[in-house]
Amino acid sequence: MRRLAVLLVISGTIWSICAEIKPPKPGMNFFSPQQDIQLGKEAKAQVESQMPVIHDNNINGYLVQIGKKLAASPHAGDWPFSFEGIYDKNINAFALPGGPMFVNTATITAADNEAQLAGVMAHEMSHVVLRHGTHQMSKQQFVQLPAILAGNAMGNGILGAIGKLGVNLAANSVLLKYSRDAEAQADYNGALIMADAGYNPVEMARFFEKLESKGSEGRLAQFLSDHPTPGNRVKSVEQEIQQLPQKDYKEDITGQLASVKNAVQHLTPPPVKKQPNPQQ
């Protein structure tokens, strides 16, 4: 019995080492990729109507520019990504199933270089590619979800149908609360996306570790509770990129971060929406 336990520990260790170096694959999921896209589209409309989404061309244009570079990676799949800023002094970013991504203005301000901002985006993008949001929901609602999704096979009104399960579908919902395993996977895949785009993947891990070191209170609470640390992020990414072909990675590609930070500082707050901010 004891030998079996030892064997299990050893094989578990070997498995976890292997798991670290193998590109992650999406887990069990009752949603079809089309339903991910439909759900994300509906949730995006909700975010846009309830949260202070900005319409500044400098800022959103910058996010789109970086986002497109990242989305061109084969590791970003074929999802209809979109990129918008949210006027918020809390550091956060989130991507809804299927591709809509939102980046808080404070995240832009907090980045030491463009690669760090690109890192957050590549990480969020990876949650979309690996379908972590709908995977998480599939695990939690495995009894009722298949019938609900079958009833919505035509792809209309998934958000409302799922809402009837009593699941909170606001922006801080189950769709955005990831496990530590999902975090490690998003780091791994995010590093591959960054490497393809030419950004230094280690900057992604450095930014996360910088945020983690500041503690999970105040302006970081939501972000760190949605993205719990898998630990040793910099070390993991360093090990990962050793296996990639050598490349001259950049910390900055567009040269626009400073001017966009300036635009953030001078941004007029968008009018307060009628609905309460679901992130609060």
Stretch that binds Zn ion, among 83-91, 192-200, 222-230, 232-240 (CB under 5 A): 222-230
**Cβ pair 253, 114 in contact under 8 A:** yes
Q: Supply 161's token pair.
A: 């149908």
Distance CA 207, CA 120 (A): 8
At how many degrees (to 10) do helices 33-50 and 132-140 cross?
A: 100
Stretch that binds Zn ion, among 48-56, 160-168, 186-194, 263-271 (CB under 5 A): 186-194
Min dist CB 240 to Zn ion, Å, is: 16
Distance CA 50, CA 61 (A): 22
> How many CB atoms are located within 10 Å of the residue 230 CB?
19
Q: Which residues contact 221 (CB under 8 A, 6 or more apart)?
A: 90
**Cβ pair 116, 204 in contact under 8 A:** yes
The residue from 117, 227, 237, 257 that contacts Zn ion (CB under 5 A) is 227
Point out which residues pair with 93 in neighbouring strands. 103
Nearer to Zn ion, 87 or 178 (CB): 178
Nearer to Zn ion, 115 or 121 (CB): 121
Establish if 130 lies at the interface with Zn ion (CB under 5 A): no
Stretch that binds Zn ion, among 67-75, 113-121, 152-160, 171-179 (CB under 5 A): 171-179
Stretch that binds Zn ion, among 31-39, 109-117, 160-168, 172-180 (CB under 5 A): 172-180
Establish if 101 lies at the interface with Zn ion (CB under 5 A): no
Distances (CA, A) of 79 to 101, 112, 152, 220, 224: 11, 28, 20, 28, 25
Q: Is 219 left (phi over 0), alpha (psi -120 to 50) or beta?
A: alpha
* Number of residues in contact with Zn ion under rule CB under 5 A: 4
Nearer to Zn ion, 225 or 262 (CB): 225
Nearer to Zn ion, 86 or 149 (CB): 86
Nearer to Zn ion, 140 or 225 (CB): 225
Position closest to Zn ion via CB: 227
Establish if 186 lies at the interface with Zn ion (CB under 5 A): yes
Min dist CB 161 to Zn ion, Å, is: 26
Task: Compute the residue count for the chain.
Answer: 280
Q: Which residues bind Zn ion (CB under 5 A)?
A: 178, 183, 186, 227
